[in-house]
Amino acid sequence: MATHIHGKHFEVTPALQAYAEQKIGSAQSWFDETVTIHVTLLLQARKQEHVVEATIPYHGMVFRVEVKDADMYAAIDQAADKLDRKLRKYKERARRKLRSHGRAVGPGIQDGGQPEPEAPEEAFVIAKEKRLVMKPVDLQEAVLQMNLLDHSFHLFLNRDTNREEVVYRRADGTYGHLFAD
C-alpha cells in the first residue's frame, strides 16, 4: 500500500498519520493493483476548520474527495466513507457497462465491501443550455468579466493563445486558470 500523508500548516503526529493510513488506506482494497493514495491534512486556523483531501490517480482517472469538519479525526472518517462510496459507485457503473456490452468485468477495481443492491443507472439531467459568443480577451479581462457577472467560473477565448479556456474562483478567494495543451 502506498499512502502518502502530509500536513499543511501543522505537523502531522504519528497517531494522526496511523489513523489516516488505516481509514483512508483501506480504499486500496477496491483495486487489484497497488495504487498511490495522496492525503493532505489541512488546518485552517482562521475558520477553525480541519480539511482532509484524498486523491487516487488511477489509469487516467482521478478519484478525489474533500471534507471539512471541526475535528480532524471526524474529517478523516468522513473522507474515508466518501471515498468508499465514490469507488463503489464507479465499480458498479463499470460493471453494468461491461455487462451491457456482453463482457465480463475484467481487472481493475475489485469488490471492496459488501455487495450493494443494484441501483438504477443515474441519468445526468441537463437543466439549461447556453450558447456563447466569445470575443478574444486576455486573462485579466476574463477574470474581470467573471467578477462582473458574479459567476464562479468563466469560459473565454484567450486572445494570446486563440484557445477556449476557463478561469474560476477558488474557495480560498484566489483564481484558477484551466486550459488544454
Largest CA distance in the chain: 55
Average pLDDT, the chain: 85
What would the grid cell of residue 25 be? 488506506
pLDDT tens digit sequence for 51-85:
999 999 988 888 999 999 999 999 999 999 999 99
pLDDT tens digit sequence for 18-29:
999 999 988 888
Question: Which distant-in-sequence residues (6+ apart) come within 8 Å of 142 by Cβ?
Answer: 154, 156, 158, 165, 167
pLDDT tens digit sequence for 131-151:
888 889 999 999 998 888 888
Domains of the chain: 2-100 (3.30.160.100), 136-178 (3.30.505.50)
Instruction: Choose between 171 and 106: higher pLDDT.
Output: 171
pLDDT of residue 113: 47
